[in-house]
Amino acid sequence: MKTVLVSGAAGFLGSHLCARFLKENFHVIGMDNFITGSKKNIDFLKKNQNFQFINHDVSKYVEINNDLDYILHFASPASPIDYLKIPIQTLKVGSLGTHNLLGLAKAKNAVILVASTSEVYGDPLIHPQNESYFGNVNPIGPRGVYDEAKRFQEAITIAYHRFHNLDTKIVRIFNTYGPRMRLNDGRVLPAFIGQALRGEDLTIFGDGSQTRSFCYVDDLIEGIYKLLFSNYNYPVNIGNPNEISIKDFAQEIIKLTNSQQKIIYKPLPENDPLKRKPDIDLAKNILGWIPKVNRNEGLKLTYEYFCSLSKKELNLKEHQNFKSYNKFL
């Protein structure tokens, strides 16, 4: 039986990856320190005898006694709310955490896949964004801690590939949604659904003309799985190119939730991208991958998940205050 280590296992994407590898009959080692992940996300995984969990911060030295065949590095705050509150941890998990897991992959002769992001393109000047685009990023802006952590992550990963001949994969993830998203993480989809379920007006930042492209989580996981077992070592965009303006998306959520809320407008945060749409030709050509779940279907499944949350979870405005994590920086 092959063994895979998934960092960020208690997060949205990490928990789905663990479930997929268990389904494929892998021994799965999940690792998380719950800074943004949730124990609830992995409760169902613990019932599987092939799942092992380690509570650990990958920014610190990682020691695994088992043989490892694959490592997937998905540990990182991924919400602007999180990485504005824990900027140093965000930088550390993208730099020190990546370095630790690359060293582990080298020691174990394992394949490593790292989770990068469309945020490496910043506020793009080309549309749609392909993998050859260098990006338009402000390294010292409020969002820079996440963008630059991921850009460094890509740089050191490729350095290990070129210098140590390590088998590396890099996935650039575009906006993804689905069950086990955090309702209070500040991103537009859970924010809109949460506001609708609580009877609040939907908040748009800016004039709503900015665009996003939303990929359902099952499609994303399939793309990542295909990339891991491919022969390609450089960045690949995985996302759904079906683009929509935030204003139109708000109307879709109002229709989906059958709510009567108004839309209110607030100033656009600094360096918030105005456009986001993946060029997925590379994924089509080398992986044979295309997204299959349309937005209407995916939103229904996601809405059903959010409707299943308790009243306490629905009204929880903040994941945590991060005080204990900021104490020793």
- Residues contacting 125, CB < 8 A, separation 6+: 136
Q: Is 111 part of a structural domain of the chain? A: yes
Rounded CA separation 54/200 (Å) = 39
Q: Is the pLDDT of residue 83 over 60?
A: yes
- Please give the residue range of the domain that contains residue 42: 3-178+215-241+277-293
Q: Which residues are designated catalytic?
A: 146
Query: Does residue 190 sit within a domain?
Result: no
Count how many domains the chain has. 1
Is 64 a domain residue? Answer: yes
Residue 307 lies in a domain: no
Does pTM surpass 0.85? yes
Query: Does residue 94 belong to any structural domain of this protein?
Result: yes
Assigned domain for 252 exists: no
**Mean pLDDT within 109-137:** 95
In a domain, 92, yes or no: yes
Tokens representing 121? 């393109």
pLDDT by residue (tens digit) across 185-204?
888 999 999 999 999 999 99
Q: CATH number for the domain including 125?
A: 3.40.50.720
Write out pLDDT tens, residues 163-190. 999 999 999 999 999 999 998 888 899 9
Residue 325 in this model has a pLDDT that exceeds 70: no
Contact 29, 4 (CB under 8 A): yes
**144 within a domain of the structure (yes/no):** yes
